Amino acid sequence: MKLGFIGLGIMGKPMVKNLIGAGHEVYVYDIVKENVDAAVKTGAVACGDFGELAGNVSFIILMLPDSPQVKEVITGEGGLLSVAKSGTLIVDMSSIAPLVAQEMAELLANKSIRFLDAPVSGGEPKAIDGTLSVMVGGNVDDFNEAEPVLKAMAASVVHTGAVGSGNITKLANQIIVALNIAAVSEAFVLATKAGVDPNLVFDAIKGGLAGSTVMNAKLPMMLDGNFKPGFKIDLHFKDLNNALDTAKSIGMPLFLAPQVHQMLQALRQDDCGQLDHSALVTFYEKLAQQKVSQ
């Protein structure tokens, strides 16, 4: 199948590689030439603009940083709203504000262009091995059409309801992940400062109720002091921003997420925004004057 893919960052490049590995012909665009060149080396076809890409395909995937970038790609000069063919299916796998997803879907529908919001969870490691979790909002027939393509990049693909529900589900996911990372950070700095080897603490508790996918993925990075980004603090801060804005719009009080949001803000002010979100441990290490890494 011929597919378009816009956005070739940390997540996008391995996702494109998996699509090509599944036998799809993938036309790509990114504002960073080096990202396009890397995708071409895996078998992708480079496009010079959105018009060239949209002219070759009727199924387009977006993987962009945030709502403003998605709006620009769709509604900006020469954007998909003006160049995509009638009947094209746009699957936005970015994590954006649910209201923006609904706004984009409505605008595109006026041009007979279909839209699904389909954010992902799993970060770079699961993008690489093709085991992402995808939560999809939109028309069920459009979902059924997209599902086989999404399964080339994911282990789990779930239809969550109407457009916007995919990103609501992602916000719930991001709150849980953020609080889990914060809890792991707090607990292991405490254990280390109290004189217990954090590696042994990990061995002792990972098989019990405290064990989690988040701890298994992020604690080894904390113990190694390795914060090479699989999912950046800046992006998780953005996701919690969207969660807080959404909660405010529906009159839902949040208590724990705002605290982690402020921790991430403090780290961003310390120029840590481009580090992996596991670097949240350094917030606690600084306060406790105790590192967990050896």
Tell me, yes or no, whether 148 and 181 share the same domain: no
Tell me, yes or no, whether 87 and 52 share the same domain: yes
Q: Identify whether 66 is part of a domain.
A: yes
* Helix, strand, coil distribution of the chain in percent, nearest 5: 55, 15, 30
Q: What's the number of domains the chain is made of?
A: 2
Summarize pLDDT for 168-216 with one digit per residue, the tens.
999 999 999 999 999 999 999 999 999 999 999 999 999 999 999 999 9
pLDDT at position 230: 87
Q: Residue 294 pLDDT > 80, yes or no?
A: no
Summarize pLDDT for 74-110 with one digit per residue, the tens.
999 999 999 999 999 999 999 999 999 999 999 999 9
Tell me, yes or no, whether 15 and 134 share the same domain: yes
Q: Identify whether 294 is part of a domain.
A: no
Per-residue three-class SS string for 59-119: EEEECCCCHHHHHHHHHCCCCHHHHCCCCCEEEECCCCCHHHHHHHHHHHHCCCCEEEECC
Last residue of a domain, one of 162, 179, 208: 162
Q: What one-letter code names the amino acid at 257?
A: A
Tell me, yes or no, whether 149 and 73 share the same domain: yes
For 183, counting Cβ atoms within 10 Å of its Cβ (0-12 exposed, 13-18 middle, 19+ buried), the class is middle
| Residues recorded for the chain | 294
Range of the domain at 53: 2-162
- CATH code for the domain in which residue 70 is found: 3.40.50.720
* Catalytically active residues, by annotation: 170
Tell me, yes or no, whether 76 and 175 share the same domain: no
Tell me, yes or no, whether 6 and 147 share the same domain: yes
Q: What is the mean pLDDT of residues 139-143?
A: 98
Q: What is the mean pLDDT of residues 254-264?
A: 98
Tell me, yes or no, whether 234 and 143 share the same domain: no
